[in-house]
Structure 1
C-alpha cells in the first residue's frame, strides 16, 4: 500500500491522490442495488492524459486492479470498486476541447457532463442527441462506457452512433488512437465501436470525437391514454409500421403515472393503464401528430391530447423524465431493469411484468423507450425487509428471463456490470463468452481493468 501511494504521488498532484477512508468509501459503488463493492485502496483524480498513463503504468507494475469511474450514475454495478483497487475517477477531465460547426464534431474529455455538452453545442446551432435520463449528472465517458441511450433514440439513435474516434489509455499505459474526425472512414477493424459499451474493461477513454447534428426545430408532443398495455403496444406497432419517425415515443404504465402524480402533482390521468407520449421535431409537426393520434385511437386509445405549444410539450416530457425518481419514492429501494424486446412484443413485455409483480406481491412500474422496445421495469421494495428483498431479486431475474424469451436482450443501454453477469452468459452462450474473454485478454492480459465486470 505505501509503495502504491508513493508511486502514484510521484506523478500526480497531492490533491489528486485521496487515501482518507471516509472519502474513498464514497467512491465504492454506483447506483445499482444488489451489487457488491469492495473497499478502494486509493482514489485518484487525474486532470491530464499523462496523469492517467502514470496511474495505469503504476498499477500494471504493482499488479493492482484499476476501476475507471465517471459520475457513478450507472445502474449495473459497472463502476463498483474491487477490493484494494485504484479508483480512477475521470470527473476532473471535464474540458470541451473543440466544437467544429463545419465538420459537425465536438472533441471532449471524458468527465464532461452530457447536459453541459448539449447546451454548449446548442449555442452554435448544433445538437448532440444522446440524452439519458441522468443527463444533468452523467458524463460522456460513462455514456461511452455503457453505450447509453435516451429519450430521443427512436429517431436519432444511441451513443455508439455518435462516437467517431477515441483516445484510450491501455492497461499498460500506452495511448491508443482509434477512429477518425471525418464523416466516413473504414480503415481497419472498428476499435472505436469495440470500446463503446465495454464498461472500462478494455481501456480508459481520455478523449472522444463526437458527431453532431444541426439543431432540429422545437418538438411538439401529444399524450395518448390506453385502457391496457396490449392496446398501447398495438399503437406503437401501428406507428412504426406506418413509416412515422417521431423524435420521441415513450410509455409509462399506470403504476408509473400514479407515482409521478404523487411526487409532482402533474395531473396525469390516474385511471389509465398505459400512457404513450409522442413528439415530432419536423418543420410542421401538427399534421404528423394528427395522423399519429388517429393511429392511437384506432388501436384503442380512450383519449388523445395534443400539446398546444412547446411549453406544454415540455411539461409532458418532464413527466416522463420524472418517472424513475418518482418510483424511487414508492419504497426504500429500487432495482431498475433494462430489458429491450422487439417492438412487436412490447405489449407482451408489459403484461408479463404485471404478472411478475402480482406473483411476488411487489410494486413494479414500467417506463419505456417504446419506439425501440427498451423497457425499464422498476422493482420497488423495502431494503430492510429480507423477505421482500429476496422477492425483489427473484422478480428482477424473472423479468430478464421474460425479455430473453420474447426475443430481447438483457440490457438496451445500462450495461452488464456486476448485476447481470450471469444473464450475459445466458444470452451470449459459451462460445460468445469465450470470444469476449479472448478480446479482453488482448487489451488487458493481466486482467487489471475493472476486474469481475461483464464476465
Structure 2
C-alpha cells in the first residue's frame, strides 16, 4: 500500500488521490443491486492523459487491479470497486475539446456529462442523439463503456453508432488511437467498436470523437392509453409495420404509471394498464401523430391525446424519464432488468413478465423503449427480507431466461458488469466466450483492467 501510494504520488498532484477509507467508500459501487463491491486501496482522479498513463504504468508494475469509473449511474455493477484496487475516476476529465459544424463532430474527454454535451452542440445547430434516462448526470465515457442507449434509439440509434474514434490508454500505459474523424473509413479491424461496450475491461477511454446530426425540429408527443399491455404492443407493431419513424416510442405499464403519479403527481390516467408515448420531430409532426393515433385506436386505445405544444410534450416525456426513480419508491430496493427482444415478441415479453411477477408474489413494473423492443422490468423488493430478496433474484433470472427464449438478449444498453456474467455465457455460447476471453487477454494479459466484470 505504501509503495503504491508513493509511486502514484510521483506522477499525480496531491488533490488527485484519495486514500481516506470513509471517502473511498463512496466510490465503491454503481446503482446495481445484488452486486458485490470492495474497498479500493486508493481513488485516483486524473485530469490529463499523462496522469492516466502514469496510473496504468504503476498498476502494471505492481500488478494492482484498476476499476475505471464515470458518474457511477450504471445498473450492472460494472463500476464496482474490487478489494484493494485503484479506482480510476475520470470525472475530472470533463472538457469539450472541439465542436465542428462542417465535420459534424464533437471531440470530448470521458468525464463530459451527456446533457452538457447535448446543450453545447445545440448552440451550434447540431444534435447528439443518445440520451439515457440519466443524461443529466451520466458521462460520455460511461455511455461508451456500456454502449448505452436512450429514449431516441428507435430513430437515431445507440451510442455505438456515434463513436467515430477513440484515444485509449492500454493496461501497460501505452496510448492507442483508433478510428477517424472522417464520415467513413474502413482501414483495418474496427477497434473503435471493440472498445464500445467493453466496460473498462480492455482499456481506459481518454478522448472520443463523436458524430453529430443536424438539430431536428421540435418534437411533439402523443399519449395513448390502453386497457392491456398486449394491446399497446399491437399498436407498436402496427406503427413500425406501416413504416413510421418516430423519434421516440416509449411504453409504461400500469404499475409504472401509478408509481410516477405517486411520486410526482403528474395526473397520468391511474386506470390504464399501458401508456404508449409516441414522438415525432419531423417537419409536420402533427400529421404524423394523427396517423399514429389512428393506429393506436385500431389496436384498442381507449384514449389518444396528442400534445399541442413543446411544453406539453416535455411534460409527458418527463413522466417517462422519471419512471425508474418512481419505481424505486415502491420498496427499499430494485433490480432493473434490461432485456431486449424482437419487436414482434414485445407483447409476449410483457405478458410473460406479468406472469413471473404473479408467480413470485412481487411488484414488477415495466417501462420500455418499445420502438426497439428494449424492456426494463423493475423488480421491487424489501432488501431486509431474505425471502423476498431471494424471490427477487429468481424472478430477475427468469425474466432474462424469458428474453432469450423469445430470441432476445440479456442486455440492450445497461451492460453485463457483475450482475449478468453467468447469463452472458449462456447467450454467447462456449465458442463465443472463448474468443472474447482471448481478446481480453490480448489487451490485458495481466488481467488488471476491471477484473471480475463481464467474464
TM-score interval (norm. to shorter): over 0.9
Cα deviation digits, residues 267-313 of structure 1 (max 9, x gap): 11111111100010001111111110111111111111111111111
Could you tell me how far 1:21 is from its partner in structure 2? 0.3
Partner of 2:220: 220
Establish whether residue 174 from structure 1 lines up as the match of residue 174 from structure 2. yes
What is the match of residue 27 of structure 1?
Answer: 27
User: What secondary structure, in the 3-state scheme, does the structure 2 residue paired with 1:37 have?
Assistant: coil
Partner Cα separation in structure 2 for residue 28 and residue 263 of structure 1: 28
How far apart are residue 17 of structure 1 and its match?
1.0
Structure-2 residue corresponding to 1:411? 411
Partner of 1:231: 231
Structure 1 CA distance, aligned partners of 2:355 and 2:411? 21
CA–CA distance in structure 1, aligned partners of residues 371 and 410 of structure 2: 17
Alpha-carbon separation, structure 2, partners of 1:311 and 1:14: 47
Question: Partner residue of 1:244?
Answer: 244
Residues 40-90 of structure 1 show CA distances to partners (whole Å, capped at 9, x for unaligned) of: 000000000000000000000000000000000000000001111000000
- Are residues 1:333 and 2:333 paired? yes
SS at match of 2:364: strand
Aligned residue pairs: how many? 455
The CA deviation string for residues 111-135 of structure 1, in whole angstroms up to 9 with x for no partner, is 0000000000011111000000000
Secondary structure at 1:205 match in 2? strand
- The aligned residue for residue 102 of structure 1 is 102
Alignment partners' CA distance in 2, 1:322 and 1:451: 32
How many angstroms apart in 1 are the aligned matches of 2:102 and 2:208? Answer: 18
In structure 2, the residue matched to 1:72 is: 72
Spell out the pairing of 1:223-372 with structure 2 (5 A cutoff): 223-372=223-372
Partner of 2:200: 200
Rounded Cα–Cα distance in structure 2 between residues aligned with 1:105 and 1:287: 32
Aligned pairs for 1:6-155 within 5 A = 6-155=6-155
Over the aligned positions, Cα root-mean-square deviation in angstroms equals 0.5
**What SS class does the counterpart of residue 168 from structure 1 fall into?**
strand
In structure 1, how many angstroms separate the alpha carbons of the residues matched to 2:311 and 2:18?
45
- Cα drift, residue 229 of structure 1: 1.2
Question: Which stretches in structure 2 are left out of the alignment for 5+ residues?
Answer: none
Cross-structure match for 1:189: 189
* Per-residue deviation, 1:179: 0.2
* Partner secondary structure for residue 110 of structure 1: coil
How far residue 198 of structure 1 moved from its aligned partner, in angstroms, is 0.2
Give the Cα separation in 1 of the matches to 2:275 and 2:56. Answer: 48
The whole-number CA distance in structure 1 between the counterparts of 2:322 and 2:16 is: 35
Instruction: For residue 366 of structure 2, give the secondary structure of its aligned residue in structure 1.
Output: strand
Q: Residues of 2 paired with 1:171 and 1:375: CA distance? A: 35
What is the CA–CA distance in structure 2 between the aligned matches of 1:442 and 1:101, rounded to whole Å? 37
Structure 1 runs (4+) deviating above 3 angstroms are none
CA-CA distance at 1:15 after TM superposition = 0.9
Inter-partner Cα distance in structure 2 for 1:331 and 1:157: 33
In the alignment, the residues of structure 1 paired with residue 353 and residue 263 of structure 2 have an alpha-carbon distance, to the nearest angstrom, of 23
* TM-score after normalising by structure 1: 1.00
SS in 2 for 1:349: helix
Q: Partners of 1:206 and 1:189 in 2: how far apart?
A: 20
TM-fit CA distance, 1:186: 0.5
- Residue 304 of structure 2 aligns to a residue whose secondary structure is strand
The whole-number CA distance in structure 2 between the counterparts of 1:26 and 1:197 is 24
**Length-normalised TM-score, structure 2:** 1.00
* Secondary structure at the counterpart of residue 183 of structure 1: coil
1-side partners of 2:23 and 2:226: how far apart? 48
Q: Distance in 2 between matches of 1:179 and 1:347?
A: 39
| 1:144-171 deviation line (CA, Å, top 9, x unaligned) | 0000000000000000000000000000
